[in-house]
Structure 1
Amino acid sequence: MEKTYTGRYINLQALAQEINSILAGEGWESSTQMMSPPMGSMQDYIVRGLKKGHMHHAEELIIRITGAPNDFRIIIEEEHIGALGRELIDHRLFKQIDKEINDGLFDMPYTPTPSPQMTPTPQMPSMQPQMPQTTAQGLRCSQCGYQNPPGAKFCLNCGNKLM
């Protein structure tokens, strides 16, 4: 099953981690993997879930999250799961994902990329390293501008080390 989401600016890495924890909470052995480094705004994550049953029977879920933060697809593939089980998993998983996205759980501040007409003039680089800005809400990453929670050591969005 596949579903496309547009119009909201979503942290896809956090969404993949949430899907991973949903599966783990339902008894699946699950893992999250970034398929390729982000190219521009395009990202690609895979969440794999495995549930072992009786007589060496194993059910497998492969959930792929691919696209840009404001236009992405979630694709669910099931293996060794009956039609009723597939429908139940797809419905329950998409219902929970839709609710969390609509509640703004994964929203990121929108930072438009400059178009060629709006290219800023280059500035001379300063010799001082940029320190992340500390606010009452947490740390802002100096590399991508993401607002991280207080006490974070690394940026949740890009992985940059916070000072």
Structure 2
Amino acid sequence: MDDAHSDGRDVVRPVVIDSPKRLLLLIPSVLDREIRWTLPTVPMRLGETSRRAATRHLRRVTRLPALRISPLIGQLSRRDAPAGVQYVVVVRPAAESWPPSVRFALAPEARWWTTAELRSARALVEPAELLDFMDGYWDGWLPDGEISLE
């Protein structure tokens, strides 16, 4: 997984989803001694769009040729680099479903969750706005395009 922690570059955070309204979150990270489930953090290249960066990363990692990127993009400040922006994009398979290996390709410890399961477990997620963003996506009340999640 690419990592961009302290430079000022923009990053994309792809949300890999499947048909039963589940999202794939990576192994928990520890932040301030609290476990948080997180998304991949992919540095964007100069002049690259968030959709292109997510596609580049996921095709390289999962080796899948066809992905569908939602027209809805969430935008947040980077808490670790105030000059940078993080974009949250929703990614689905172009076919009906992901092969079982997609979870292991992203991270062996990755786990499929529904937003209801995350809330019920009181699991912390990073970015914190992710659950509301995903509920808005699935329920259709967020407009297409780039929206601020702050």
Structure ranking higher in strand proportion: 2
- Of structures 1 and 2, the one with the larger relative CO (CA 8 A, separation 6+) is 2
TM-score by length of 1: 0.27
TM-score by length of 2: 0.28
